[in-house]
Amino acid sequence: MENKKLGILVVDDNQSLRELLETILKNRYRVITAGTGGEALQVLNEDEVNIVLLDLRLPDCDGLDILKIMKEKYPDVEVMIISVVKDIDMVVRAMKLGANNYISKEFDSEEVLALVEKIEEKIAEKRERDYLKGELEQYSGLDLILGQSMVMRQVEETLRKIAPLPTTVLLLGETGTGKKIMARYIHQKSHLSNKQFVTLDLSTVPDNLLESTLFGHEKGAFTGAYKQRYGKFELADGGTLFLDEIGCLKYDMQSKLLRAIQDKEIERVGSSKALKVDVRLIVATNLDLTESVRKGEFREDLYYRINVIPMKLPPLRERLEDITEFVRYFMDKYNKRFRKNVSKITDAALDVLKNYNWPGNIRELENLIERLVAINDNNVISQEDIPVEYYLFDKKTGEDQESMLQKACDTFERNFILKTLEDERWSRTRTSNTLGIPISTLKYKFNRLQIYDILAQRKKLSRRARNPRNILL
């Protein structure tokens, strides 16, 4: 999920107060100001605003009327009232209309930041809930998560055994294989399903904030700690904590995490008091932790502590028989979103997808289907609709001696040539002219970059696509 600065709109007819609030907030937030209700509504219509600090007494309208419009047109925007003491009745009415909180005009900077931070936490929690809801809808039901392949049936068998148990699970798998969805599924099928499910992607948290994010902090523990804050362990107490990308955890933090797991207690930053916590832990990584242990990058004792029940999620290239089911689901999903009726995909198009290596796994497949549905005008996805780069496939999973840099260069060059070839309607003469290279050089590149293989595969599948019986779904 994206972590860009929240947008705060300050609405007050007092320019000095607007400038003061902007000065207090601008280091941590993106601040916009407005002096009237009309200006405020224009900003909301044109800019991305998450929080509004609203004065109820505006020169052009009643602040309560503006609040009502805001909550009707922009229900996700959180509103905090700026008031004077004599406005207390209006504040009460504003709270009933959906305002989040209020602050007196005789405020200090710490008070403002503390209240805004509280609203920020509420927004973050809502985003997390919405994200997880979307993720679960994306793979609605266990059958869709697991598919019908033999390798996933084995995963299903293990899942059904371990989900009810209060033990630590280590999810292993490449990026895009559905580790977070699986963690959520385990939580839902456990005895903690009615408790909180808290997640943290360790790779997204700056090193200097990681301890505070995990264990919380006391007010004044460090610069910017304006109030006491709970960490993920406390927030998950009694429920499930999912730590994604645990292989990214710095070595010095690993010992503190080990203690939290081992002793079931934590210390907030700035405190020496031990707090008991009880969480069901699920962790995930796309790294080889045994290799990290061997290199001294990951603590061996922590590895054994989290490796109670390891579960490997196979990449999509090892479960190609599940692609048809995923394609059907993603077509339905994006037909609804884009109000389309792309209801069929040809066998030839499916063959292309089943011969591709899918380095981005399920996530990459979804992105492709989203694109194909969005731009399709024929209600059928054909082999010609598949971008040319998907015709290159290599199902080998062993180590390649070729350098990563060379692979990247070859991939770029291959895709560039294929795109030019497609633009020139598959004419090699026109392609060589456009690229500014002799036809002999182009043929050499065709050989070296396996483009002849791609074209042969495309020609073969085109013949199948012309057969009207080759329609699936």
Tell me the two tokens of residue 48: 């991305």
pLDDT at 174 over 60: yes
Burial of 377 (0-12, 13-18, 19+ CB in 10 A): exposed
Residue 426 Rama label (left phi>0; alpha psi -120 to 50; beta):
left
- The stretch 380-398 carries a mean pLDDT of 73
| Number of residues that this document lists for the chain | 473
Burial of 447 (0-12, 13-18, 19+ CB in 10 A): exposed
pLDDT at 200 over 50: yes
In a 3-state reduction of DSSP, which class is residue 236? coil
Task: Compute the distance between CA of residue 127 and CA of residue 431 in angstroms, rounded to an integer.
Answer: 48
pLDDT at 2 over 50: no
Confidence (pLDDT) at 135: 54
Confidence (pLDDT) at 400: 42
Task: Compute the distance between CA of residue 119 and CA of residue 101 in angstroms, rounded to an integer.
Answer: 9
Q: Residue 465: pLDDT band by 50, 70, 90 thresholds?
A: low
> What does residue 66 show for φ and ψ, rounded to 5 degrees?
-65, -40
Task: Compute the distance between CA of residue 158 and CA of residue 290 in angstroms, rounded to an integer.
Answer: 22
- The stretch 380-386 carries a mean pLDDT of 92
Task: Compute the distance between CA of residue 213 and CA of residue 226 in angstroms, rounded to an integer.
Answer: 15
pLDDT digits (tens, 9 = 90+) for 445-457: 888 888 887 887 7
Give the residue from 239, 33, 34, 28 showing the smallest Cα distance to 119: 28
Lay out the sheet containing 197-201: strands in order across: 197-201, 240-244, 280-285, 169-172, 309-312
Q: Residue 84: pLDDT band by 50, 70, 90 thresholds?
A: confident
Q: Residue 23: pLDDT band by 50, 70, 90 thresholds?
A: very high
pLDDT digits (tens, 9 = 90+) for 240-260: 999 999 999 999 999 999 999
**H-only helix segments in 163-272:** 179-188, 207-215, 232-235, 251-263
The one-character DSSP state at 468 is T
Give the residue from 395, 388, 391, 392 showing the smallest Cα distance to 419: 388
pLDDT at 393 over 70: no
pLDDT at 396 over 70: no
The contacts found for 418-427 with CB under 8 angstroms, 24 or more apart, are 418/388, 418/389, 418/391, 418/451, 418/454, 419/388, 421/388, 421/451, 422/388, 426/455
In this prediction, what percent of the chain has a pLDDT beyond 70?
88
The one-character DSSP state at 384 is G
- The stretch 182-189 carries a mean pLDDT of 88
The full set of domains in the chain, from first to last, is 7-116 (3.40.50.2300), 139-312 (3.40.50.300), 319-472 (1.10.8.60)
pLDDT at 7 over 80: yes
pLDDT digits (tens, 9 = 90+) for 104-162: 888 888 888 988 988 888 888 777 666 655 555 554 444 555 667 778 888 888 888 89
- Lowest-pLDDT range of 139-148, 181-190, 375-384: 139-148
Q: Residue 88: pLDDT band by 50, 70, 90 thresholds?
A: confident
Confidence (pLDDT) at 4: 66
Reported as type and span, the H/E element at residue 428 is helix 428-435
Q: Contact 179/171 with Cβ under 8 angstroms? A: yes
Confidence (pLDDT) at 281: 97
**Residue at 40: amino acid letter:** A
Of 167 and 146, the structure prediction assigns the larger pLDDT to 167
| Helices H / strands E in the chain, number of each | 20, 15
Q: Contact 236/281 with Cβ under 8 angstroms? A: no
Confidence (pLDDT) at 462: 63
In this prediction, what percent of the chain has a pLDDT beyond 90?
41
pLDDT digits (tens, 9 = 90+) for 279-311: 999 999 999 999 999 999 999 999 999 999 999
Quickly count: other Cβ atoms within 10 Å of residue 408's Cβ: 10
Task: Compute the distance between CA of residue 100 and CA of residue 321 in angstroms, rounded to an integer.
Answer: 50
- The stretch 218-234 carries a mean pLDDT of 84
Of 407 and 214, the structure prediction assigns the larger pLDDT to 214
Q: Residue 238: pLDDT band by 50, 70, 90 thresholds?
A: very high
pLDDT at 3 over 60: no
pLDDT at 399 over 70: no
In a 3-state reduction of DSSP, which class is residue 199? strand
The rounded mean pLDDT for the chain is 85
Confidence (pLDDT) at 461: 64
Q: Contact 215/254 with Cβ under 8 angstroms? A: no
